């Protein structure tokens, strides 16, 4: 028996969510307050704040699902959404790279080796698809996804993310509540939901934290505010990491 929500049911639940749910902005800013005055290095503060803010986004998605009784049908090992373009700014890219450098050595080396193989295999395709103008081309997502090039962080043998706890906002906020088959059958299924609006609370808090550090005179490996304004494909940011480390 089919127990998946229909498209109409999903739309109706989203409308209800709009009416009843209020995002608790304070949750984001409390993390900034909490880490601002801690007696630890700036690097530690940055990484901890970043990871906690990412987690708040995931928790907020879960709270919204509970509020309207929806459960994701995304399954472990299902990775069709990992073929979408992921756009992040320079600050997020540096935070991801820094966090990877704090992984246990074997995990860090595994990721670097995976990335080296990835760029050997897909360098031409990446060069081509990252020419898509994500700021001005309204179809860039469709065109990118249609090219069927996996995210650099996707292990295509296990279909799992190699840095799952660091996955950026688009990866955390794209959810399917109906038959998972739609993700296999369609390039951009209309039934899926994006909670990407949570980006503004997340980035607002992260930006406030960097502003605080900037005023204190130490933003460590972040070049503030320039890194916040520079956006690019994750596939380009991670390529830089491999080239630099080679």
Which spans of this chain sit near ligand SF4 (rule: CB under 6 A)? 82, 86, 151, 153-154, 161, 167, 171
- Burial level of 85, CB count in 10 A (0-12/13-18/19+)? buried
Length of the chain: 246
Q: What's the min distance (Å) between Cβ of 187 and ligand SF4? A: 15
* Closer Cβ to ligand SF4, 77 or 138, answer by number: 77
* Closer Cβ to ligand SF4, 28 or 174, answer by number: 174
Q: What's the min distance (Å) between Cβ of 24 and ligand SF4? A: 25
Helix (H) or strand (E) holding 194: strand 193-194
Q: What's the min distance (Å) between Cβ of 7 and ligand SF4? A: 24
Q: What's the min distance (Å) between Cβ of 79 and ligand SF4? A: 6
The runs of H, that is alpha helices, within the chain are 7-20, 26-36, 42-67, 90-101, 105-129, 140-146, 169-173, 181-185, 199-216, 226-229, 234-245
* Closer Cβ to ligand SF4, 33 or 165, answer by number: 165
* Closer Cβ to ligand SF4, 4 or 84, answer by number: 84
Beta bridge partners of 193: 175
């Amino acid at each position: 028996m089919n127990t998946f929500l229909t498209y109409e049911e999903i739309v109706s639940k989203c409308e209800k969510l709009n009416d009843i749910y209020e995002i608790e902005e304070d949750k984001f800013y409390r993390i900034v307050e909490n880490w601002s005055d801690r007696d630890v290095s700036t690097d530690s503060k940055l990484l901890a704040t970043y990871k906690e803010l990412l987690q708040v986004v995931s928790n907020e998605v879960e709270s919204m699902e509970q509020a309207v009784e929806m459960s994701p049908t995304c399954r472990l090992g299902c990775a069709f959404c990992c073929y979408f373009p992921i756009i992040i700014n320079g600050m997020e890219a540096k935070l991801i790279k820094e966090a990877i450098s704090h992984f246990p050595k074997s995990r860090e080396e595994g990721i670097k080796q995976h990335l080296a193989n990835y760029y050997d295999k897909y360098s031409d395709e990446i060069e081509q698809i990252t020419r898509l103008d994500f700021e001005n081309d309204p179809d860039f997502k469709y065109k990118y996804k249609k090219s069927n090039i996996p995210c650099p962080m996707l292990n295509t043998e296990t279909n799992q993310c190699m840095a799952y706890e660091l996955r950026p906002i688009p990866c955390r906020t794209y959810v399917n509540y109906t038959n998972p088959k739609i993700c296999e059958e369609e390039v951009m299924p209309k039934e899926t939901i994006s909670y990407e609006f949570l980006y503004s609370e997340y980035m607002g808090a992260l930006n406030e934290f960097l502003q605080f550090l900037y005023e204190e005179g130490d933003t460590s490996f972040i070049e503030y505010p320039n890194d916040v304004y520079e956006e690019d494909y994750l596939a380009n940011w991670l390529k830089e990491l491999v080239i630099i480390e080679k």
